[in-house]
Amino acid sequence: MQQENKVSAFTLGVFIFLGLTMLGYLLASAAIEYKQYDRTIKVKGLSEQEYNADIVLWPIQFIAAGNDLESLYISIEKNTTKIKDFLTDRGITIEEISFSAPAISDKSAQQYGNSGQYEYRYSATQTVTVYSTQIASIRKIMAALSELGKQGIVFVGDNYQTQTEYIFTRLNDIKPAMIEEATRKAREVAEKFALDSDSKLGKIKKASQGQFSIRSRDKNNPHIKLVRVVSTIEYYLSD
């Protein structure tokens, strides 16, 4: 009986030993496999394209001055009509033109300053705004605006309110192709790194598209927009 117990204990010990050995092997394999999956590389892919703007917002602002308020309003109306005719004669539709109410300033009503040193009591500012998709035509008309200056219209320039704005509205149309390009370039970088490090490129672990940015290509060509996006992608590496 005692001999049988010794055999059973020995057999049980052998099975426990084999079980622990197998468990240790499995744990070691799992650790090695986990470590392999933990090897990653993070790369960035850039897509940058130039596109023409499709909308132009052109504010044309002029000033007038005088001592008689009624005469000043008449002068503003005449100059506004001249600008309107100038634009429509060159192909701009009346629907593309808007007119703001004139802003009148009365110097005698100002609280500060020496009221006896001004030549004209009233000054007025009027803005005519063009909102159009005819980018090329508008840019040609801008260059010819000096013709109205020769007729006595005093234009205001070089301030925030008179800056011409070029707008690009087709971002949703170009997004898929640019994201695809950025992703492809990121993979090319990752594959080159994997080749140089004697590794194999695996699946994507994490990806971030990044934000699209739109800006003028340069200050002399604000109607040409530079659209840019950077994708960040993390890949697994294996031996």
Local mean pLDDT, 10-residue blocks, the chain (239 residues): 52 52 47 55 93 96 92 94 96 95 84 64 94 95 92 85 92 95 93 89 88 93 96 89
- The structure tokens listed for 68 are 């008689």
Domain 39-53+169-239, CATH among 3.40.190.10, 3.30.110.170, 3.10.20.30, 3.40.228.10: 3.30.110.170
- CB neighbours of residue 126 within 10 Å: 23
What are the Cα distances from residue 156, in Å, to 60, 107, 163? Answer: 8, 19, 10
Q: Compute the distance between CA of residue 93 and CA of residue 2 in angstroms, rounded to an integer.
A: 113
Q: What is the pTM of this model?
A: 0.74
Q: Quick one: pLDDT at residue 209?
A: 83
Q: Quick one: pLDDT at residue 239?
A: 76
For 164, residues 6+ apart whose C-beta sits below 8 A from its C-beta are 56, 57, 58, 59, 142, 222
Q: Quick one: pLDDT at residue 173?
A: 96
What are the Cα distances from residue 31, in Å, to 24, 36, 203? Answer: 10, 9, 20
Q: Quick one: pLDDT at residue 26?
A: 45
Q: Quick one: pLDDT at residue 197?
A: 85
Task: Print burial letters for 24-61: b (CB count within 10 Å at least 16), e (below 16).
Answer: eeeeeeeeeeeeeeeeebebebebeeebebeebebbbb
Q: Quick one: pLDDT at residue 61?
A: 95
Looking at the domain 55-167, which fold is it? Alpha-Beta Plaits (3.30.70)
Output phi, psi for 91, to 5 deg: 100, 0
Q: Quick one: pLDDT at residue 1?
A: 52
Task: Indicate the domain borders of the chain.
Answer: 1-38, 39-53+169-239, 55-167
Query: What secondary structure, in 3-state letters, does the chain show?
Result: CHHHHHHHHHHHHHHHHHHHHHHHHHHHHHHHHHHHHHCEEEEEEEEEEEEECCEEEEEEEEEEEECCHHHHHHHHHHHHHHHHHHHHCCCCCHHHEEECCCEEEEHHHCCCCCCCCCCCCEEEEEEEEEEECCHHHHHHHHHCCHHHHCCCCEEECCCHHHCCEEECCCHHHHHHHHHHHHHHHHHHHHHHHHHHCCCEEEEEEEEECCCCEEEECCCCCCCEEEEEEEEEEEEEEEC
Q: Compute the distance between CA of residue 42 and CA of residue 204 in angstroms, rounded to an integer.
A: 10
